[in-house]
Every structure is written in structure tokens, then in C-alpha cells.
Amino acid sequence: MKAITDQDYLSETKGKSERALLDSAFIARDERRAQLIERAFGFLCLIATFLPLCILAFLIGDTVISGLQRINLAFILGFPSRFAASAGIFPALVGTFYLMTLTMTIALPLGVASAIYLEEYAKDSWFKRLIELNVTNLAGVPSIIFGLLGLELFVRILGLGQSLMAGALTLSLLILPVVITATREALKSVPNNLREAGLALGGSKVSVILRVVLPLSMSQITTGAILAIARAIGESAPLIVIGAATYLAFIPTDLLSEFSALPLQIFQWVERPQADFVDNASGAIVVLLLVLAIFNATAAWLRHRQEKNRGSL
Amino acid sequence: MSTNYSSRCRSERITAFTLETLLALSAAISIFVTVGVLYVLISKTWDFFQEIPFSSFFLDTKWTPLFETKRFGIWSLVTGSLLVTFVAMITAAPLGVLAAIYLSEFANRKIRRVLKPLLELLAGIPTVVYGYFALTIVTPALMHIIPQLNGFNALSPGIVMGFMLVPTISSLCEDAIYKTPRYLKEAAYSLGARKMSTIFLVVLPYARSTIIAALFLAFARAIGETMIVAIAAGLKPNLTLDVREPIQTMTAYIVQVSMGDTPQQSIEYLTIFAVGTMLFLLTFIFHSISKLILRSRFSVTPL
């Protein structure tokens, strides 16, 4: 019984320490493996972020390279043609410009008025909740459905035909939820104590809104409006559905004349089987992207200025 | 003096009242728009079903309203839409969620400030431009890998649409991941968890419902997306699950009819409203599920 010798004891502890050593070796291996997996996962996330950006950059780069060769003054100021080499985008460009001016004239006042009502006037009632529900739901309706609405309501029932006005009204309804949401965010960012200060000085609700709230939120509203218009510029599906022209040999003259737009011109050229017309499409895409870049850069610049001014409020 | 003052008060009150009414009316336009959309879709779809029986709409397998022998089986268009949507989701879901994890857990503030607007750019490119990319660049490139790929197919527009949807998913997910309470993460770290285990066992479960909502939202957008599929997926209604073949989506069909000259009240003209109603219902369901999940997220206290 008492025969556990030092020898035994030693061999036992030695076994233990060997096991511990072995264990720690295993742990170290697991550790290394875990670190490796960890790093691989981080790398995977990095790839997932950069892959779409790199592919987009490649696609745009490829298009710009083939598009720039096509762009010259005759292309910008030319009219569509059966011959790819002599076709231009002028009616589409002017159409887009008219369309956007009209759309903004309709959508901006309506959107801002809605937002002012929802933020400054409406109590928490069923009416407000109903409007909010409709705004969120309309934001999720596919743009082509707005085209169906425009086709029936503006083109047929109101008898506007396939005109600039019908197109602008359709696009206005499409971007209305965007303008409302952006304006509400802008109005929310005005601190309440400024409103209270205005009221305490004897200002009426209207004058507080006109002289305090709107001036302070104006640049943010403008940013939202620019982004909304940038979205409308690229829209083609609703315009196709209301029957806007893809081939137009003249400049729209009044609100009821037919029109084309840049995205429609691009669509028509992409659909052609001939490679020359596809080159035209890439030229028009470069112009469209350039216009969008200007709008987005303006919005980004405004937002940057806002953030800098925020501190002084 | 006092009468003058009170009359000024009254006229001011009237102005204020008129103004409020005008504002309320413009706010009510959103309601009118919804009513308008529903009225147009329902009335025209009603007209459609006066001539075409329900059974041939829902039980037929062919969709050929523009041919001599007209058949109206909507499912070949619905499967077309769903096929492209699934390809788009398989592309967008992993990219979007992983990008959100990268932006909120790995990237430092500076990188995030640069990358977030860049990612948003993906959603800002006009869809007609994406359609051009899919048809003229991505499809030819994919043909090198998959030789049997048709010139028009569901795969290429699906993938391109997936890239477009990445910011839809990533921005919502990133917000949710970013909002994971610090104490939950610190608790995990103090128990010896690594970053990755913390992400998978704490952060992602916390953000789970938002991630699901983001996926539903992207799904709804993908079904309603028009120009990419109208340009690159083909115009052939096709009851198939093969992504290499040309198909037609509901949206592309509406575009095809709109590009032609169809007389008003003809059955071809009515089909676009019937298809539009189907499209509206599908997007509405997915969009609503997404919004419901997002709304209920904060009413339940996590953990």
C-alpha cells in the first residue's frame, strides 16, 4: 500500500506535465487556427464590400471608354437618325431638362407642404397615421405601376396624351414620397426650442414656420430635392408605359407636345441589334452619368456645408 | 382701435385656417394617389376578367396574348420574375450582409465615411444603365464561363440586379448592427469570445429581424425592377427554372406591350393591368412584411 515511491510520483507528474504541454500545444494550434479563420472572415467582409464597387468601376470605365469616342458636338446637338453615325441626343437631352423642371415645379411644393402639415400641424390622429401609411407604401410601389396610373389617369382620363405634362405628373407622383420623407427629416432637425422662442416673441405659427423653421431647414430640403430629382432623371419604366417617344425628330415646344428623355433614348439604342447603335447608347450613358454626377456632387457639397454649419446652431 | 385689432385677429385666424387646410389637402394627395393606383388596377383587371376566365389565367401554363392563339397563363411571367429575383438575392444577400458587418465592425471611421456613400452610389445608377451593362458586358463575359448561356438569360440581369440591391440590404443591416448595445458585445468579449464569435453569437442575432426585413425589402424591389430585365432577360415567357434560358418577367411584359401600338380596350391592352395587379400584390406583400418586421423590432425588448 505504502509502496508509492518517489519514482512513481515523479513519473506520474512527468506524465501530467507532458499532457499539459501537449494540451497547450493543441490550444496554441487551435488559437492559430482560430486567428486564421478570424482574419479570413475579416478579409471576406472586406471583399464583399469592395467587390461590387470594383465591378461597378470596371463596368462604368468600360462604358466611358467606348462612349467618349462617340461624344462630340454633333452627337450632343444632333437629332435621332436611322443611321447610327449621324444620330444625336439633343431632343432627349432637352426633354429630360424640361421634364425635370416641370416635375420639380409640381412635386416640390406638394411634397414640402405635405411634410410641413405632417410635422408642424397634424396631431397624432387617424388622418396623420393614414397619410404616413400611404407615404411608406407608395415608396415601395414599383415605378412601372406609377406608369400604369399615369397612362390611365393623365394620358386617357385627363386627356393629356403622351405629353410632357403627363410625364411630369407621373414622375411627380413617383418622387413625392421621397420629397416628403426628406423634408420631414429636415424639419425634424430644427430644434424645438427655436420654435418656442419664435412663439414666445409673439410670432404666429405661420410666421414661425416661414421665418424660423423653413430658413433653418432649407439647405437640407434642397439636398433632398436634388436627390429626388436625380432619381427621376434616371427613370424610364413609367415613361415607357405612358407611351413617351423613343424616337423624336423635334424639340418639345409646349406642355402638351410629345417628348423623349435620355434614359428612353438609351433604351431604344440598346435594343437595336447593330453594334453602332450600342456605341451610341454608351455615349448617351456617359452624358446621363455626367448629369447625375453633377447633381449628386451638388447634394454632397450641400450636405458637407450643412454638417459644418450644424455646430453653430 | 379695438375693433380694428379684433378684425385683424380674425382675418389672421382665417388665413391660418385656410393655410392649414391647404397643407392638409396636399398631404392628402398621397391618399389620393394610393386610391388612384388601386382604382386603375382593379377596374382594368375587372374588365380583363370579364373576357378571360380566372381558370385560364391561373391554370394555363403558356402566356401568349400577343400571338394568334392567345393564352393567358400568368405563371410563366411570375416564375420569370421570381427566377431573376432569386439570382439577384443570392448575389445581394451575402454581399450586403457581409458589407454591413465590414462597415460596422471592421472598418474605422474614416474608411466608413468614404465607403458608405460609394456603396449608396450602386443604388443611384439608373436601371437602364444597369441593363446596358448586363446585356453588353456581363452576358458576353459569362458566356466564356458558361458556353450554353443564351444571349438573353435570367442569370446576367439577376447578378447585375444583385449588385444594385447591395446598398438596400447593407445600409439597413449596418444601422442595426451598429446599434447593438455595447454592453452585449463587451459581455461576450469578457467571456473570452473572439470578434467573430461575438459577431455570430451576439451581433447578428440581435440584428436578425432587421436583416430579414432588409432581405424582404430587397426582394420586393427586385420583383418590381423593370429596365434591367426588359433589356437583358429576353421577351420569351418561359415556365422554366433554367437561368441560362431567355425568360420574360411581369415588368418586361408591360414594357413590351407599351412599346408597341396596342389599341385601347383591346385585350392586349388590358393584360398589362392584370399583370400590373399581380406585380403590385407581390411587391405589396413583401414590402409590408418588411415594414411590419421593422416596426415591431423596437416594441420587443431584446434579451
A266 contacts B132? CB cut-off 8 A: yes
Chain B contact for A159, CB < 8 A? no
Using one digit for the tens of pLDDT, what is the confidence trace for A67-83?
Answer: 998 888 888 888 887 77
Using one digit for the tens of pLDDT, what is the confidence trace for A220-253?
Answer: 999 999 999 999 999 999 999 998 877 777 788 8
Chain B contact for A44, CB < 8 A? yes
Give yes or no for residue B302 having a pLDDT over 60.
no
Determine the Cα–Cα distance for residues A49 and B274; give it in Å rounded to an integer. 39
B-chain CB neighbours of A117 within 8 Å are: 20, 23-24, 26-27
Residue that is written with C-alpha cell 446652431 in the block = A313
Determine the Cα–Cα distance for residues A254 and A275; give it in Å rounded to an integer. 35
- Confirm if A283 and A269 have CB atoms less than 8 A apart: no
How sure is the predictor about A271, in pLDDT bands with cuts at 50, 70 and 90? confident
Determine the Cα–Cα distance for residues A170 and A148; give it in Å rounded to an integer. 9
Q: What's the mean pLDDT in A41-57?
A: 93
- Confirm if B234 and B150 have CB atoms less than 8 A apart: yes
Rounded to a whole number of angstroms, the distance from the CA of B169 to the nearest CA of chain A is: 12
Chain B contact for A172, CB < 8 A? no
Which 23-42 residues of chain A touch chain B by CB within 8 A?
A: 34, 37-38, 41-42
Average pLDDT, chain B: 88
B23 contacts A116? CB cut-off 8 A: yes
CATH number of A94-264: 1.10.3720.10
* Of residues A87, A235, A212, the one with CA closest to residue B126: A235
Residue B148 is predicted with a pLDDT of 87
Residue B243 is predicted with a pLDDT of 85
List the Cα angle B122/B100/B111 in 5-degree steps: 80
Chain A contact for B266, CB < 8 A? no
Chain A contact for B296, CB < 8 A? no
Chain A contact for B187, CB < 8 A? no
Comparing alpha-carbon positions, the chain B residue that sits nearest to A207 is B16
Provide Rg for chain B, Cα atoms: 25
B19 contacts A206? CB cut-off 8 A: yes
Using one digit for the tens of pLDDT, what is the confidence trace for B173-196?
Answer: 998 898 889 899 999 999 988 888
Cell of B224: 418590381
A46 contacts B106? CB cut-off 8 A: yes
Distance of CA B121 to the CA centre of its chain: 17
- Confirm if A280 and A247 have CB atoms less than 8 A apart: no
Out of A42, A52, A59, whose CB is closest to B166? A52
Give yes or no for residue B135 having a pLDDT over 80.
yes
Rounded to a whole number of angstroms, the distance from the CA of A249 to the nearest CA of chain B is: 18
Chain B contact for A243, CB < 8 A? yes
- Confirm if B273 and B51 have CB atoms less than 8 A apart: no
Phi-psi region of A243 (alpha: psi -120 to 50; beta: other; left: phi over 0): left
Rounded to a whole number of angstroms, the distance from the CA of B234 to the nearest CA of chain A is: 11
Using one digit for the tens of pLDDT, what is the confidence trace for A152-167?
Answer: 999 989 988 889 999 9
Out of A41, A55, A152, whose CB is closest to B196? A41
How sure is the predictor about B130, in pLDDT bands with cuts at 50, 70 and 90? very high
B-chain CB neighbours of A122 within 8 Å are: 24, 27
- The structure's pTM equals 0.89
Which 225-254 residues of chain B touch chain A by CB within 8 A?
A: 225-227, 230-231, 251, 254
B34 contacts A145? CB cut-off 8 A: no
Q: Provide CB contacts within 8 A for B154, sequence distance 6+.
A: B80, B83, B84, B87, B233, B242, B243, B244, B245, B247
